[in-house]
Copies of this chain bind each other. A is one copy, B any other.
Amino acid sequence: MSQTFDIAIIGATGTVGETLVQVLEEREFPIGTLHLLASIESAGASVPFRGKNVRVREVEQFDFSQVQIVFFAAAEAVTHSFASRAQAAGCHLIDLSGTLPTEQAPMLVPEANADVLATLKAPFQISSPSPCAIALAVALAPLRDVVSIERVTATACLAISSVGREGVSELARQTAELLNVRPLEPRFFDRQVAFNVLAQVGKPDASGYSRVEKRLVEELKLVLAQPSLKVSATCVLAPVFFGDSLSVSVQCAGPVDLVAVNAALEAADSIELVEEGDYPTVVGDAVGQDVIYVGRVRVGFDELSELNLWIASDNVRKGAALNAVQIAELLIKHYL
């Protein structure tokens, strides 16, 4: 006998929602009926699944008792509005928006803290962290056995797709205008994003940190189960369509054994370690892949307890859709 699950995806027309559908199909997730949902503005579109076009319906009208698992891949406000309805209907809930309190829906990256599932009770509510927190957790998780990590300093050059389709269109439009020597009038962003690096993603709060930076700090501590870990995060937007690049400096408790570090990274299934002298990039390496790419692994130039590395990761795939599907796979394999 083979069990199937009826699934709903909220935010099905976004870049993450569409990739969710694609990843579920590729990995042959045992789906009975797939319900694609979105806010009223996006309802009516259709998304291909198993050779057919599935129509996207309005989430407001949806009866959550029809499904067992719901993926929230929509904006915070949408998740906020409908999470309690899904909960009330007894659905298992996987949230990609970071909206739910982590006490209610713990952060989970299967490569780092799959064991957190054993502490939960049905119906399950689980959060899939932000893309750069996932990439960083996947890279650092296997290192916990070979170094004692005290502090992580990360600069994440996020892809424009982090801010959604409108950002992607705007980068393409601005670039074309500039190459055609036409005057630039920024629209979606308040300034030129083409051939520029924007030092901030969204408005920072009084502490000076943006939401994506605070998520990176807090989610990494949770996923690595290291509340005392110090994390310094700077998230910026690079003029890149897809794929996050992270420059990471790790301060360890003692001298770093580079051979052991490389061996641990090499042995990790979700990591492609790029050989010394070469380096990974998002375009050409990470984008479209299920693994994250790690390279430029080196001990500090003047500090033996420092480990530096570079990570390239598909922000939409492993950074969002794939991680959420892996969570669902763990759930159905062990708990449902």
Contact = CB atoms under 8 A, between A and B. Distances in A.
A279 B199 contact: yes
A286 B159 CA distance: 22
Interface string A234-278: 101011110001010100000000000000000000000000110
A29 interface: no
A144 B80 CA distance: 47
Interface residues on A, range: 35 or more
A284 B197 contact: no
A104 interface: no
A213 B284 contact: no
A22 B190 CA distance: 31
A151 B151 CA distance: 13
Given A175-B175, A277-B204, A303 B197 contact: no
Given A195-B283, A279-B199, A298-B207, A306 B232 contact: yes
A306 to B, nearest CB: 6
Given A157-B238, A298-B207, A303 B199 contact: no
A279 B198 contact: yes
A284 B279 CA distance: 31
Interface string A298-314: 11111100101010100
A196 interface: yes
A240 B195 contact: yes
A230 B30 CA distance: 53
Question: Taking each of A195, A207, A295, which has the highest tally of chain B beta carbons within 10 Å of its own beta carbon?
Answer: A195
Given A232-B303, A239-B240, A208 B283 contact: no
A301 B175 contact: no
Interface in A159-207: 171-172, 175-176, 179, 191-192, 195-200, 203-204, 207
Given A179-B179, A196-B284, A301 B234 contact: no
A220 to B, nearest CB: 11
Contacts of A306: 230, 232
Interface string A201-238: 00110011100011001000000000000111110101
Interface in A278-328: 279-284, 295-303, 306, 308, 310, 312
A234 B247 contact: yes
A238 B153 CA distance: 20
B209 A298 contact: yes
A277 B153 CA distance: 22
20 contacts: A151-B303, A153-B232, A153-B249, A157-B236, A172-B179, A175-B175, A191-B284, A195-B239, A196-B281, A197-B281, A199-B247, A200-B296, A204-B296, A208-B276, A208-B296, A230-B300, A230-B306, A232-B249, A232-B308, A236-B245
Given A191-B283, A199-B295, 7 more contacts: A157-B197, A191-B281, A196-B282, A197-B245, A199-B279, A232-B308, A234-B310
